[in-house]
């Protein structure tokens, strides 16, 4: 073999090693970068707060761990959510939300519908199945399959919730002392329908029970809070809303434009969810809908999920989140406030799902009553689930 041929062979070998290293190490590095937890000393938890926390039914309306290359059956050193940490944090119900398209930059003020899509690169980089590289619908199905595989390998610690009967079984096992968490599948933005309403049946069959209409950009259903304008529901969007209501699915207004929110309220008579947000009274940011519109959502019997990241609550410490929760109670009432972390949603937080007792302590310190804390922690969310699940 000539020196040139040996050089070419060595170069090819180095290129193959570099490619393999990228696919092995890059996803974990990106996960760490996008979902950091601030370094902190252990949060002080009083005996009273710890006892109260362990007695709570805790639910979280929104987290995105299915997006990342992470074994959720094991305790991970990166990100915010996995089954062991959820159990350690005494979480009873976790909505696992599938992200299928997200624009570069995730600008809260404006995103074009044709902006470069980050999830395509993530799907390729994490070696998702080939159909997911081009189809948003296939990305949703893939993430649902991931959660079902985690359930199969969880040794009973994860139970996917499809029906009210599933919910009852989960709560019975929880009361009996089993280490178990319920997982409910949600879609962040209904663009996986790809303009075809028949695909809603496919998503439901895959296990999805919560449907958000928009994400960071306008889509075929209507306008986004971060889109080109305050567009309302399209004709297709109205069809999807009606079909979702008829199927007993939960409608999520997170990221929807104010006009879409008004349109959905006007055409439905079911409790609506805004899964992850802040409250304008506490944090007057573009990410948060006006307080009057929040009250309109609450008037449907629905709930507002308060998030754990600074762009939504301005102060992402446990005490800052507790203040946002207190403000939300003042705006919409204690029966309509819930938790919606946005864990693993490319946000920085000050704690992960194993440390939720810190938030219980902060709510006590903020002056919330035990009754209010129980409602916010999970009882309000549970009421809406029972109203919608068959």
Place of tokens 């959510």: 81
Structure confidence by residue, pLDDT tens digits, 261-313: 999 999 999 999 999 999 999 999 989 999 999 999 999 999 999 999 999 99
Task: Cite the beta strand spans of the chain per DSSP E.
Answer: 58-63, 91-99, 158-160, 181-188, 208-212, 250-252, 273-277, 303-306, 337-339
Distance of CA 43 to CAs 4, 29, 40, 46, 253, Å?
62, 27, 8, 10, 33
Q: Which residues contact 18 (CB under 8 A, 6 or more apart)?
A: none
Q: Is the pLDDT of residue 18 over 50?
A: no
Take residue 329 and report the two structure tokens written for it. Answer: 């109670």
Take residue 35 and report the two structure tokens written for it. Answer: 């979902």
Take residue 285 and report the two structure tokens written for it. Answer: 């940011």
DSSP code per residue over 104-156: TT--SS---TTSPBHHHHHHHHTT--GGGGT-HHHHHHHHHHHHHHHHHHTTT
Give the helix/strand (H/E) hosting 184.
Answer: strand 181-188
Distance in angstroms (rounded) separating the CA atoms of residues 221 and 248: 19
Q: Is the pLDDT of residue 208 over 50?
A: yes
Mean pLDDT computed over 224-248: 95
Take residue 348 and report the two structure tokens written for it. Answer: 């920085």
Handedness of CA 315, 316, 319, 320 (dihedral sign): positive
> For the purposes of burial, counting CB atoms within 10 Å of the CB of 297, is it exposed (0-12), middle (13-18) or buried (19 or more)?
buried
Q: Which residues contact 253 (CB under 8 A, 6 or more apart)?
A: 212, 213, 260, 261, 264, 272, 273, 274, 297
Distance in angstroms (rounded) separating the CA atoms of residues 76 and 93: 19
Q: What DSSP designation does 41 have?
A: P
Q: What is the pLDDT of residue 26?
A: 66
Q: What is the pLDDT of residue 111?
A: 82
Looking at the DSSP bridge assignments, the partners of residue 277 are: 306
Q: What is the pLDDT of residue 109?
A: 79
Q: What is the pTM of this model?
A: 0.93
Distance in angstroms (rounded) separating the CA atoms of residues 180 and 171: 9
Structure confidence by residue, pLDDT tens digits, 93-139: 999 999 999 887 777 877 877 777 889 999 999 999 999 999 999 99
Distance of CA 72 to CAs 34, 90, 151, 232, 355, Å?
17, 16, 9, 37, 17
Distance of CA 33 to CAs 123, 300, 347, 349, 353, Å?
17, 38, 9, 12, 18
Structure confidence by residue, pLDDT tens digits, 60-96: 999 999 999 999 999 999 999 999 999 999 999 999 9
Structure confidence by residue, pLDDT tens digits, 126-185: 999 999 999 999 999 999 999 999 999 999 999 999 999 999 999 999 999 999 999 999
The number of residues in the chain equals 390
Question: 161 and 167 in contact (C-beta within 8 Å)?
Answer: yes
Structure confidence by residue, pLDDT tens digits, 352-384: 999 999 999 999 999 999 999 999 999 999 999
Distance in angstroms (rounded) separating the CA atoms of residues 323 and 320: 5
Distance in angstroms (rounded) separating the CA atoms of residues 201 and 117: 25
Mean pLDDT computed over 199-221: 97
Of 62, 84, 63, 82, the C-alpha closest to 72 is: 82
Q: Is the pLDDT of residue 13 over 60?
A: no
Q: Is the pLDDT of residue 19 over 70?
A: no
Q: What is the pLDDT of residue 108?
A: 81
Question: 218 and 115 in contact (C-beta within 8 Å)?
Answer: no
8 pLDDT band, cuts 50/70/90, is low
Q: What DSSP designation does 192 have?
A: G
């Amino acid at each position: 073999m000539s020196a040139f041929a040996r050089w070419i062979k060595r170069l090819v070998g180095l290129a193959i090693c570099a490619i393999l290293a990228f696919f092995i190490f890059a996803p974990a590095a990106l996960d760490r970068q996008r979902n950091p937890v601030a370094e902190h000393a252990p949060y002080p938890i009083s005996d009273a707060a710890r006892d109260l926390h362990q007695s709570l039914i805790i639910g979280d309306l929104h987290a995105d761990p299915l997006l990342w290359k992470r074994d959720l059956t094991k305790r991970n050193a990166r990100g915010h959510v996995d089954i062991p940490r959820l159990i350690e944090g005494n979480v009873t119900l976790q909505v696992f939300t599938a992200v299928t398209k997200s624009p570069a930059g995730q600008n809260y003020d404006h995103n074009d519908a044709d902006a470069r899509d980050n999830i395509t690169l993530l799907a390729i980089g994490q070696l998702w199945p080939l159909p997911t590289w081009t189809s948003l619908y296939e990305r949703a199905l893939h993430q649902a399959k991931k959660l079902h595989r985690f359930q199969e390998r969880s040794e009973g610690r994860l139970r996917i919730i499809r029906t009210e009967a599933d919910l009852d079984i989960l709560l019975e096992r929880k009361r009996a002392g089993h280490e178990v968490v319920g997982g409910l599948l949600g879609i962040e933005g209904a663009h996986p329908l790809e303009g075809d309403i028949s695909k809603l049946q496919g998503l439901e069959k895959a296990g999805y029970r919560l449907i958000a209409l928009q994400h960071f950009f306008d889509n075929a259903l209507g306008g986004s809070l971060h889109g080109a304008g305050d567009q309302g529901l399209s004709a297709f969007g109205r069809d999807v809303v009606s079909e979702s209501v008829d199927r007993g699915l939960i409608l999520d207004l997170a990221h929807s434009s104010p006009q879409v929110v008004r349109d959905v309220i006007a055409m439905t008579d079911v409790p609506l969810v805004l899964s992850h947000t802040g409250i304008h009274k506490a944090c007057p940011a573009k990410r948060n809908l006006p307080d009057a519109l929040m009250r309109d959502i609450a008037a449907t019997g629905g709930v507002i999920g308060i998030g754990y990241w600074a762009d939504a609550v301005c102060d992402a410490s446990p005490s800052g989140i507790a203040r946002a929760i207190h403000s939300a109670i003042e705006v919409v009432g204690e029966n309509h406030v819930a938790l919606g972390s946005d864990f693993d949603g490319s946000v920085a937080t000050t704690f992960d799902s194993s440390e939720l007792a810190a938030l219980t302590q902060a709510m006590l310190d903020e002056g919330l009553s035990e009754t209010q804390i129980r409602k916010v922690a999970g009882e309000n969310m549970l009421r809406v689930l029972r109203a919608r699940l068959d």
